[in-house]
C-alpha cells in the first residue's frame, strides 16, 4: 500500500482495528450459538456482548505484545479479550480453529471492499453517462491503428466506456458473491467439534453464506477469481486512461485532463500540461493486474491447507482493493472534469481532405454497377493523392475530376457521400442499447 494512492474508507477496512472488530464479532456470534446449543453457558456470550457494548477501545499494541510471546495471532487476541472480559471468555472459540476466524474475517473485508468498489463504479458510470449525453452528437474522428478511419461522436466513445464498466460492475457483483462465505468448520473442516449450525448462525449475522465444504480454510479458487476480476477492471481503467492520453497529445489535443490554475506541469518547461493522472492510472492498472498472479498461485494449497497464501494476502488484500478504489475515484475525477475540445475534434476530422468518406464512395460505386475491384482501385488512386498532399487536396474535388468515377456517379451523388450526419444516424440506437 502506497499512502498517496489510498483513500481513508477503504484503508480503514484493512487496518488492524477493523480486523480485530470482525474477529470479536465472529467469536461472540459463535459463542452465542454455542450457548443456544448448550455447549457453553449462555452467560459466556452475554458477558462478551456486555463488554462490547461498552464500546471498548481495541488495543492493537497490547495485542501485539501478547503475540510477540505466543507467536500466534488468534491466541494473542483471545488472551487480550479474556483479560478484559474475565472468566466467561474461556468459552470462546470452542471447537473452532484460527482459520475459522481468519478466513471469515478476510471474507468480510473483501466483501466490504467490494461494496466500496461497487460504489466507486457507480460514481464512475454516472460521470461517464453525463459526458456521453453531453457529447452524444459531438463529431470526432474514429481511429483504427491510430489512423483516421471514419467519423464517430465523442458520446459514442463514452458509451463504449460505459458499456465496459457496466460489465465490470456485473463481474464485481459476481466476484463479491464468490468470496462472501463463512467457514466455522473446525480443524480440518469436518465440524467434528462444532455444530454446522454455528457456521450458519455466524454467516447470517455477518451477511455471508456458509461455505459448503471447507478444509480449515475457505478454498482459494474463490479469491483467485476475485483478484482476477479486479485485474480485468484495472485493464479497463488502463484502456480509458490510454484513450485520454492519446487525446491530449500535442498534435491531437481533442481533450485534456483538468489543469488547475496554480499547477506546474514541469520544473523546466512552464508551458506543459501533461496527462499525468491518466499516466498514473496506467501504472496503477499494471499493479492491480499483477496481483492476480500470486492469487492464482495460492489455489494449490497442500492437502487440507498450508499457510503460503497468507503472506500473499497480507499484500494483495489491501493493496489490490486500496489501489483499485483510488484508481476508480481518480478516473471518475478525470472523466468528470475532462476538458473536451469539439472545435479541435472538427479540425482534426477535416484534416484528411475528406478521406474519411472514402468507404461510402466505394459502396456507391459498387452499387452503381462498378465491380468491387474497380471501385477499390478508383477510390484508392484518388485517396492516395489526398493522403500524399497532407490534406491540402480534397477527395471530393479529385473524384469530381475523375472521369471513370463520374461515369458512374453524378456530382450530387458524390457530394451526398460526404455528409457527416450520415454516420450518426444510429447513435441513438446504440445509446438505447447501452443506457437503459
Q: Which residues are catalytic?
A: 145, 266
* Shortest reach from residue 275's CB to its own copies, in Å: 6
- 294 lies in the binding site for its own copies (CB under 8 A): yes
User: What does DSSP assign to residue 205?
Assistant: H
CB 55 to its own copies: min, Å:
26
CB of 141 to its own copies, least distance (A): 8
* DSSP E strand stretches across 132-285: 139-144, 147-153, 181-182, 209-210, 255-256
Identified binder of its own copies from the candidate list 235, 346, 406, 413, rule CB under 8 A: 235
Are 398 and 385 in contact by the 8 Å Cβ rule? The answer is yes
**d(Cα 105, Cα 103) in Å, to the nearest integer?**
5
From candidates 119, 274, 406, 413, binder to its own copies by CB under 8 A: 274
Q: Of these, 30, 31, 95, 201, which contacts its own copies (CB under 8 A)?
A: 95
DSSP codes of every residue in 259-303:
--TT--S-SS-TT----HHHHHHHHHHHHHHHTHHHHHHTS--ST
Provide the mask over 107-146, with x wherever binding to its own copies is found by CB under 8 A and - wherever it is not.
Answer: ----------------------------------xxxxxx
Please count the residues of this chain forming the interface with its own copies, following the rule CB under 8 A.
162
Length in residues, the chain: 436
Residue 284 interacts with its own copies (CB under 8 A)? Answer: yes
**238 counts as binding its own copies under rule CB under 8 A:** yes
102 is written with which cell numbers?
481468519
Cβ-count burial 390-409 (b if 16+ within 10 Å, e if not): eeebbbbebbbebeebeebb
Stretch that binds its own copies, among 26-34, 43-51, 104-112, 280-288 (CB under 8 A): 280-288
Cell numbers standing for residue 65: 505484545
Instruction: Count the Cβ atoms, other than its own, within 10 Å of residue 86.
Output: 11
Say whether residue 61 binds its own copies (CB under 8 A).
no
Q: What does DSSP say about strands 255-256 and 339-340: parallel, antiparallel, or unpaired? A: antiparallel
Q: Could you write out the DSSP letters of every residue in 197-210?
A: HHHHHHHHHHT-EE
Q: Which of 48, 81, 96, 408 binds its own copies (CB under 8 A)?
A: 96
- Cα–Cα–Cα angle for 267, 270, 272, nearest 5°? 100
Q: Which of residues 247-266 bind its own copies (CB under 8 A)?
A: 248-253, 260, 262-266
Stretch that binds its own copies, among 26-34, 44-52, 118-126, 290-298 (CB under 8 A): 290-298
Region near its own copies per CB under 8 A, out of 47-55, 114-122, 123-131, 416-424: 416-424
Q: Which parts of 181-200 interact with its own copies (CB under 8 A)?
A: 186-193, 196
Q: Which window, 21-29, 50-58, 66-74, 398-406, contacts its own copies (CB under 8 A)?
A: 66-74
User: Cell 457521400 identifies what position?
Assistant: 417
Q: How far is the CB of 43 from its own copies (least distance, A)?
A: 15
Distance CA 293, CA 227 (A): 9
Q: Nearest distance from residue 187's CB to its own copies, in Å?
A: 5
For the bound state, the minimum distance from the C-beta of residue 220 to its own copies, rounded and expressed in Å, comes to 8
Residue with the three cell numbers 462472501: 180
Q: Which of 228, 321, 322, 324 binds its own copies (CB under 8 A)?
A: 228
Part in contact with its own copies (CB under 8 A); list of ranges 26-34, 45-53, 104-112, 245-253? 245-253
Answer yes or no: are the C-beta atoms of 348 and 254 closer than 8 Å.
Answer: yes
**CA neighbor of 221 nearest in space, from 255, 175, 256, 290:** 175
Under 8 Å between Cβ of 94 and 115: no
- By CB under 8 A, the residues from 11 to 50 that bind its own copies are none
Q: Which of 396, 363, 35 is nearest to 198 (CA)?
A: 35
CB-based contact 141:350 (threshold 8 Å):
no
Among 292, 321, 345, 414, binds its own copies (CB under 8 A): 292
Contacts of residue 227, Cβ cutoff 8 Å, sequence gap at least 6? 291, 292, 295, 296, 316, 320
Footprint on residues 317-376 left by its own copies (CB under 8 A): 319, 344, 348, 351-352, 355-356, 358-360, 362-363, 366, 371-372, 376
Closer residue to its own copies, CB minimum distance, 53 or 405? 405
CA distance 164 to 107: 27
- Answer yes or no whether residue 155 interacts with its own copies by CB under 8 A: no
Pick one of 113, 138, 216, 394: the residue that binds its own copies (CB under 8 A): 216
378 to 397, contacts with its own copies by CB under 8 A?
379-380, 383-384, 386-387, 390, 395
Amino acid at each position: 500500500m502506497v499512502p498517496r494512492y489510498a483513500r481513508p474508507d477503504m484503508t480503514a477496512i484493512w487496518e488492524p482495528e477493523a480486523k480485530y472488530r470482525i474477529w470479536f464479532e465472529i467469536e461472540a456470534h459463535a459463542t452465542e450459538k454455542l450457548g443456544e446449543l448448550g455447549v457453553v453457558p449462555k452467560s459466556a456470550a452475554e458477558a462478551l456482548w456486555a463488554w462490547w457494548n461498552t464500546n471498548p477501545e481495541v488495543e492493537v499494541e497490547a495485542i501485539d505484545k501478547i503475540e510477540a510471546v505466543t507467536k500466534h495471532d488468534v491466541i494473542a487476541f483471545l488472551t487480550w479479550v479474556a483479560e478484559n472480559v474475565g472468566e466467561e471468555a474461556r468459552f470462546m472459540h470452542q471447537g473452532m480453529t484460527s482459520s475459522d476466524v481468519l478466513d471469515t474475517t478476510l471474507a468480510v473485508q473483501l466483501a466490504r471492499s467490494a461494496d466500496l468498489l461497487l460504489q466507486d463504479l457507480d460514481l464512475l458510470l454516472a460521470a461517464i453517462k453525463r459526458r456521453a449525453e453531453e457529447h452524444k452528437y459531438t463529431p470526432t474522428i474514429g481511429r483504427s491503428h491510430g489512423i483516421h478511419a471514419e467519423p464517430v461522436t465523442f458520446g459514442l466513445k463514452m458509451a463504449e466506456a460505459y458499456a465496459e464498466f457496466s460489465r465490470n460492475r456485473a463481474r464485481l457483483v459476481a466476484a463479491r458473491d464468490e468470496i462472501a462465505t463463512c467457514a466455522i468448520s473446525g480443524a480440518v473442516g469436518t465440524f467434528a467439534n462444532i455444530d454446522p449450525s454455528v457456521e450458519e448462525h455466524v454467516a447470517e449475522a455477518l451477511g455471508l453464506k456458509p461455505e459448503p465444504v471447507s478444509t480449515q480454510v475457505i478454498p482459494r479458487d474463490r479469491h483467485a477469481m476475485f483478484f482476477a476480476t479486479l485485474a480485468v477492471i484495472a485493464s479497463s481503467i488502463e484502456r480509458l486512461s490510454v484513450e485520454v492520453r492519446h487525446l491530449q497529445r500535442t498534435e491531437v489535443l481533442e481533450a485534456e485532463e483538468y489543469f488547475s490554475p496554480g499547477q506546474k506541469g514541469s520544473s523546466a518547461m512552464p508551458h506543459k500540461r501533461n496527462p499525468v493522472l491518466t499516466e498514473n492510472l496506467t501504472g496503477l492498472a499494471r499493479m492491480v493486474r499483477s496481483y492476480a498472479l500470486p492469487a492464482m498461485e495460492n489455489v494449490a494449497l497442500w492437502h487440507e491447507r498450508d499457510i503460503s497464501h497468507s503472506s500473499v494476502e497480507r499484500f494483495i488484500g489491501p493493496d489490490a482493493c486500496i489501489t483499485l478504489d483510488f484508481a476508480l475515484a481518480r478516473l471518475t475525477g478525470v472523466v468528470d472534469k475532462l476538458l473536451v475540445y469539439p472545435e479541435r475534434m472538427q479540425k482534426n476530422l477535416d484534416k484528411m481532405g475528406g478521406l474519411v468518406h472514402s468507404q461510402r464512395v466505394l459502396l456507391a460505386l459498387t452499387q452503381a454497377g462498378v465491380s468491387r475491384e474497380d471501385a477499390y482501385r478508383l477510390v484508392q488512386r484518388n485517396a492516395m493523392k489526398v493522403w500524399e498532399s497532407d490534406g491540402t487536396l480534397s477527395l471530393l474535388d479529385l473524384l469530381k475530376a475523375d472521369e471513370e468515377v463520374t461515369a458512374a456517379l453524378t456530382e450530387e451523388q458524390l457530394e451526398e457521400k460526404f455528409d457527416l450526419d450520415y454516420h450518426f444516424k444510429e447513435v441513438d440506437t446504440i445509446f438505447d442499447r447501452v443506457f437503459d
